[in-house]
Amino acid sequence: METKIKINNIQLFGYHGTGEKEKSTGQLFEIDIEVSPIYDTPISDKLAHTLDYTLLYDEVITIFSKRKYNLIEFLANKIATTIISKYKVNNCKVVIRKPNAPIKGDFDSVEVEVMSNV
């Protein structure tokens, strides 16, 4: 049986992008995380026997806030590879959306998706 832990629509304000306005004014970003934890023991009702999603959330905040990134593809990859290396998971999917990407046109958001496997 495969278990997935998801955190949906983490909303953060940041200064990521290649344009000067993106870097100076900033904008809202939305991030989804999905991991498949590796269990050393059968699933129980104890937090110590699973992956605490608070740790995943805090990891996203730390990486997102550490510096200004030009590309959200790079940021998504950095989040995924860090989670894979620090936690017992089979894979990690990261989706980052920019609802206000600097595109002249009518759209909901720009989105990148990165999937990293062990």
- For 14, the token pair is 């940041």
Q: At what angle do helices 53-66 and 72-86 cross, to 10 degrees?
A: 140
In the prediction, which pLDDT does 40 show?
76
In the prediction, which pLDDT does 50 show?
83
Query: Mean pLDDT of successive 10-residue segments in the chain (118 residues)?
Result: 92 95 94 92 80 95 97 97 96 96 92 93
In the prediction, which pLDDT does 42 show?
78
List of domains in the chain: 5-117 (3.30.1130.10)
pTM: 0.92
DSSP per position, 13-41:
EE--SSSHHHHHH-EEEEEEEEEEEPPSS
- For 56, the token pair is 């995943």
In the prediction, which pLDDT does 25 show?
94
